[in-house]
Amino acid sequence: MNNNKNILTILFFFILHTATLSAQSFPTNWLGVWKGELSIESNKQINNVAMELHILPIADSINYWQWTIIYVINDSIRNERVYELYKKSDSSKEYFLDEKNSIILDMRYHNNTFYSHFLVNDNFLTTSYRLTERGIETCMIMSKQNNANNSGGEKGIPMVYSYPIQSIQTALLKKYK
């Protein structure tokens, strides 16, 4: 009898966990307007700006969404970046972010998180957007391609290149509507 209670308890938590994960899969719960404050830390200096992320469906499309990032500086200057997110046709995890200016970034969806990693103007950027119970947590890490520290390379140990982090940008975006 006690064994049956344990099995039922485990089954209950498994179903609850599975339901929670499926409820957060994209685009469910991601759609809407998200707002928060972006903290930018670089060279021992921290700056904050307002940030918005609008994730909206595109009419007559199943696998395309409007992905607009807005930075608001001093409550008056709005820097809007209107992108499109779309799903790679043969994958449930591979997406592309089309910046609508000939730049298309690969994105990977895993565990309620979108990830991308790219190189622009000799800067490596790694970004993530993670949906949590608190909201969408964003993070962007930047390092310079030409600023590598290398180690290893001796006695069969591979050479390793490490890139010091130049800046970190983080935000917690709460659903506005």
β-sheet bridge partners, residue 142: 125, 167
Query: Is the separation of the CB atoms in 82 and 58 below 8 Å?
Result: no
Bridge-based pairing of strands 104-110 and 123-131 is unpaired
Q: What is the pLDDT of residues 6-34, one digit of tens each?
A: 554 454 444 444 434 444 578 889 999 99
pTM confidence score? 0.82
Q: What's the rounded Cα separation, in Å, for the pair 44 and 24?
A: 36
Q: What domains sit in the chain, N to C, each tagged with a CATH number?
A: 28-175 (2.40.128.20)
Candidates 104, 116, 107; CA nearest to 87 is: 107
d(CA 54, CA 83): 10
> Per residue in 98-150, pLDDT tens?
999 999 999 999 999 999 999 999 999 999 999 999 999 999 999 999 999 99
